[in-house]
Structure 1
């Protein structure tokens, strides 16, 4: 499966570079009996449906004309924006998210909790600092990057 992701990424990057779009993520997953090739793209100011359609058409053409077929099984291709709750994966994602409200899931609990939400204060390769609210108090929480299972932008209610 990672081979599919790598191959698709290789086909995709020239298309995205030409349009000045950013690749957020490529995933190839089986849900039920169906396979899905999902491509998440973005750009400054956000991506629209016509831009997703353009990338979908161009990528589909490249994949269909490749020999041998890089994805021999049937699959659904979905090209979309990462949305308001965009995942934070690359270092640049974290840097761009400083000052933003984020959701973090941990591998190991801290103070009995594995999920935290708060404002990202700073980030280094080893840790990030979140400003969290516990009832009426604000507290800075230092999280080791190696303990972060997933992180994404979040909508604050």
Structure 2
């Protein structure tokens, strides 16, 4: 099992390789994961375009450009996957909260706030490192530093 520090250092090196490629292709790097699943290691790179859907071709371009370089960084045999983060995309950066203002999000906090670590609501605004989350008509002020994990919540439209 890979140590947490070693994994974090590896992800940082992978990010330094991937960022210039995504920027050159007009894409945004959303997240990178390196994990073991069913006995196999996976390096998952999530990319998106700000105002349009990402294509399979976009993902293939990133994969082809970084494939050999990431091979030199990782000793284990692994599978490289480049994809969209999906409709329930993770919120990783502070700028994500500004970008997705008005959208529904699920936040898991490091510590309980009002007897819960799990909150789902609409991002009302983000300022001074505080997420203003509208939860059932009350607005919670959640410090960005308290967020352990967060993602958008997709809701089906009523027809």
TM-score (norm 1): 0.86
C-alpha displacement of 1:153:
0.9
- Partners in 2 of 1:14 and 1:144 — Cα distance? 30
Q: Trace 1:23-62 onto structure 2 (pairs within 5 A).
A: 23-44=29-50, 45-62=52-69
TM-score (norm 2): 0.85
What is the aligned partner in structure 2 of residue 149 from structure 1?
148
Question: Runs of 4+ in structure 1 displaced over 4 angstroms?
Answer: none
- Partners in 1 of 2:13 and 2:138 — Cα distance? 44
What is the aligned partner in structure 1 of residue 130 from structure 2?
127
Larger Rg: 1
Any conservation in 2 of the 1:24–1:42 contact (CA below 8 Å)?
yes
Aligned residues between the structures: 149
Root mean square deviation, CA, Å = 1.7
- Partners in 1 of 2:115 and 2:9 — Cα distance? 38
CA offsets, 1:21-65, max 9 Å, x none?
11111121122422110100011212111211121122113335x
Q: Which deviates the most, 45-54 or 77-86?
A: 45-54
CA offsets, 1:56-114, max 9 Å, x none?
122113335xxxx2111100111001111111111211110111111111122222222
C-alpha displacement of 1:17:
1.8
Any conservation in 2 of the 1:102–1:152 contact (CA below 8 Å)?
yes
What is the aligned partner in structure 2 of residue 73 from structure 1?
76
> Out of 5, 10, 21, which is 1:4 matched to?
10
Structure 2 unaligned residues grouped into runs of 5+: 1-6
